[in-house]
């Protein structure tokens, strides 16, 4: 392996959205930094099975539904 091409691998503290913390090793930040998560497995609907909400920015979802809303794709 080539010397001095790999990033520094050190310990950081990760704080989840519910306030729980754990220490892990990472290449993110510097030794002893704290990473505060905005989304994590305890709160994200993909892992919790919660309902999904579509955010309609600029009317994109409405335009899509008005254009393709009548398609059935073989469903009866």
Residue 56 — very low, low, confident or very high, per pLDDT cuts 50/70/90? low
**Mean pLDDT, rounded, of the chain:** 83
Closest CA to 11 of 21, 42, 56, 28: 28
**How many CB atoms lie under 10 A from the CB of residue 70?**
7
Token pair recorded at residue 29:
């930040």
Question: What's this model's pTM, rounded to 2 decimal places?
Answer: 0.55
Residue 66 — very low, low, confident or very high, per pLDDT cuts 50/70/90? confident
């Amino acid at each position: 392996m080539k010397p001095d091409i790999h990033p520094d691998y050190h310990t950081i503290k990760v704080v989840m959205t519910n306030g729980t913390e754990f220490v892990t090793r990472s290449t993110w930040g510097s030794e002893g930094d704290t990473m505060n998560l905005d989304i994590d497995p305890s709160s994200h609907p993909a892992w919790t099975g919660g309902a999904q909400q579509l955010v309609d920015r600029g009317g994109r979802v409405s335009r899509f539904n008005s254009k393709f809303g009548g398609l059935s794709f073989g469903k009866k």
